[in-house]
Structure 1
Amino acid sequence: MKNLFLLLTVALTLSCCNNDDDTNTSTNPINQLPPATQTGENTFGALLDGEVFIPSGGTNPLDCVYQLVSGQYFFGLQGNKRDEDFNRITLSISTNAKELEEGQSYQLIENEIGNAYATYSFATNATTTSSNNSGTLTITKLDLDNQIISGTFSFDIIDFEGNLRQIRDGRFDMQFTQ
């Protein structure tokens, strides 16, 4: 009986503890993104208009290449997911004949030779960054021997309906194909 009373007292005491929901970080969208690693974990995530975007479902939800073609380097990283209406949403970062270096940042602008750029796609409609709506890509790790590329990104883009889309706190840690 004494043990039962002790157990009830402890249970009652613990149930009265204040659980301050303001300090619960699991509901913060940034904390729902994959960690910023540099070991080839094949992760990708960003905040798309403040909402968590993590590739999932469908065929090939995540893909990364960094290839030397005719003496020029081309990088392509894309993450896909489906919305509640099964529309495909894609975020991608690419370069057009541009070699990347670890520790360097690149402006995401137009899809032209020598540039880095980003694309936002919804269903079959795609738009790319421009000099007016641009962003930044930072390569935090580039290991050609182990085929690992990691980095961060953010960009603004005007979608096909004329709406500003804000992609923030993007991060990736990928094994790429050459």
Structure 2
Amino acid sequence: MKASSIPWLLLLTLAACKKETELDKLPDATQKGKNTAGFLLDGKAWLPEAGKLLSKGGPVSASWQRTVVGRSMTIRFSRDSDLTITQLFIPHIQRSGVFVCNQQVSPILGYRNPTYGMFAMTKSLTIPRLFYTGPTATGSLTVTRFDTVARVVSGTFDLTVQEETSPQTHQLTQGRFDYTF
């Protein structure tokens, strides 16, 4: 082998090595009820994880329950290492589709709220900082599979959430979930 071909081989070898990106750390966007979720929180991968504090029922959950407005879906994932919770809420869900998150949310309204996304952060189990979608922090939630027989809900989301008491926002992008309920 000629000495002049060694740099080219080295260059090809380096080009073949792919550096893992934050997006690569997220689970695939499946529709099989694998109980997976994840998103990019301000560009960094955020994945749920089990623990003893926030995720007593598991780090991922979805519930479809009868409420005063119909059957509502709540999708929740948590991570104990940094005491964060993400929640997606769809009132009166009947089928898959795109749900816009652009209306005012009020914890007092409970199941009478519009579709929303929420991100909560706490430190040392103090009062959480709550971030919601709303008129000035919008997003969309796409349910790609809503199967009441197999009891599977899957989809994707891209949200901007704003703190209740300040103008601070976070970007929850490239989100995906695939749960049984």
Task: Tell whether the structures are fold-level matches, with TM greater than 0.5.
Answer: yes
**CA RMSD across the alignment:** 2.2
1:4-48 per-residue CA deviation (whole Å, 9 max, x = no partner) reads: xxxxxxxxx8xx6443368615x2111111001101000001000
**Which residue identity does 1:122 align to in structure 2?**
M
Q: Which residue of the other structure, out of 70, 78, 92, is the alignment partner of 1:98?
A: 92
Structure 1 runs not aligned, ≥5 long: 1-12
Q: Equivalents in 2 of 1:24, 1:169: separation in Å? A: 20
Do residues 122 (structure 1) and 139 (structure 2) align?
no
Structure 2 length-normalised TM? 0.77
Q: Equivalents in 1 of 2:114, 2:17: separation in Å? A: 42
Deviation beyond 4 Å, 4+ runs, structure 1? none
Residue equivalent to 1:6 = none
Structure 1 length-normalised TM? 0.78
Q: Equivalents in 2 of 1:100, 1:51: separation in Å? A: 33
Secondary structure at the counterpart of residue 50 of structure 2: coil
Q: How does 1:42-61 map to 2 (within 5 A)?
A: 42-58=35-51, 59=55, 60-61=58-59
Answer whether contact 1:98 1:115 (CA < 8 A) is retained: no
Alpha-carbon distance, 1:114 to partner: 6.2
**Which residue identity does 1:115 align to in structure 2?**
P
Do residues 166 (structure 1) and 180 (structure 2) align?
no
Q: How does 1:4-43 map to 2 (within 5 A)?
A: 17-18=10-11, 19-20=13-14, 24-25=18-19, 27-43=20-36
Q: Which has the larger radius of gyration?
A: 1
Q: How does 1:63-74 map to 2 (within 5 A)?
A: 63-70=61-68, 72-74=70-72
Answer whether contact 2:160 2:170 (CA < 8 A) is retained: yes
Number of aligned residue pairs: 156
Percent same amino acid among aligned pairs?
22
1:96-142 per-residue CA deviation (whole Å, 9 max, x = no partner) reads: x322412x101113336362101010012212111110100001011
Q: Equivalents in 2 of 1:172, 1:78: separation in Å? A: 10
Structure 2 runs not aligned, ≥5 long: 1-5, 123-127
Residue equivalent to 1:140 = 144
